[in-house]
């Protein structure tokens, strides 16, 4: 399973709802969890593997791997917190991002069962980061323009010969 990186325009598209939670979806979710572990990440969303459906997987330390299908963020705290984020699609880049401290999310799991979850701390952060991927938003979009430009300049210096796919 190849994880798409920043220059791939699929990362900028909005994902479509999953219509049926079937064996095909379960297989993809399982592969995504494996890719997440292989990449030592904490979250991976469908668009990051070119699967343009509203699905992401999350596995934070001390918790079990979780699958979120057709998620909705139904509430977020007004209180925000700044924390360093990275992304498997933007390797080697880390930056502080401000997000809501806690949230409530509704989604379906890989068995097709709906659930509602309250999350805070790292789990809330990862859920918000992965949800953004379903909307075509990357964490660098949430930085100041100057910070984002300095990151993009560094990436371009590292990979001067990269071609558009």
Which residues of this protein are in contact with Ni ion, per CB under 5 A?
87
Residue nearest to Ni ion (CB): 87
Q: How far apart are alpha carbons 78 and 31 in whole angstroms?
A: 35
The tokens describing 11, both together, are 């990362």
To the nearest whole angstrom, how small is the minimum distance from the Cβ of residue 81 to Ni ion?
A: 18
Catalytic residue ranges: 130
Beta bridge partners of residue 115, listed in sequence order: 107
Note the helical H segments in 10-144. 23-38, 121-134
Give min distance, CB of 49 to Ni ion, in A: 12
Closest to Ni ion by CB, 87 or 128: 87
Q: Least distance from C-beta 133 to Ni ion, angstroms?
A: 6
Considering the complex, state which of residue 18 and residue 45 has its C-beta at the smaller distance from Ni ion: 45
* H or E element that contains 103: strand 102-108
Nearer to Ni ion, 31 or 114 (CB): 31
């Amino acid at each position: 399973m190849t994880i798409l990186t920043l220059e791939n325009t699929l990362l900028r598209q909005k994902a479509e709802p999953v219509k049926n939670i079937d064996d095909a979806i379960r297989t993809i979710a399982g592969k995504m969890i494996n890719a997440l572990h292989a990449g030592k990440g904490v979250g991976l969303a469908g668009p990051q593997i070119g699967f343009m459906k509203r699905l992401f997987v999350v596995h934070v330390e001390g918790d079990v791997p979780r699958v979120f299908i057709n998620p909705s963020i139904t509430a977020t705290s007004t209180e925000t917190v700044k924390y360093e984020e990275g992304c498997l699609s933007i390797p080697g880049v880390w930056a502080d991002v401000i997000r809501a401290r806690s949230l409530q999310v509704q989604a379906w799991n890989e068995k097709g069962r709906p659930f509602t979850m309250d999350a805070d701390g790292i789990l809330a952060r990862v859920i918000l980061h992965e949800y953004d991927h379903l909307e075509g938003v990357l964490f660098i979009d949430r930085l100041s323009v100057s910070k984002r430009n300095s990151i993009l300049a560094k990436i371009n210096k590292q990979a001067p010969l990269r071609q558009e796919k």
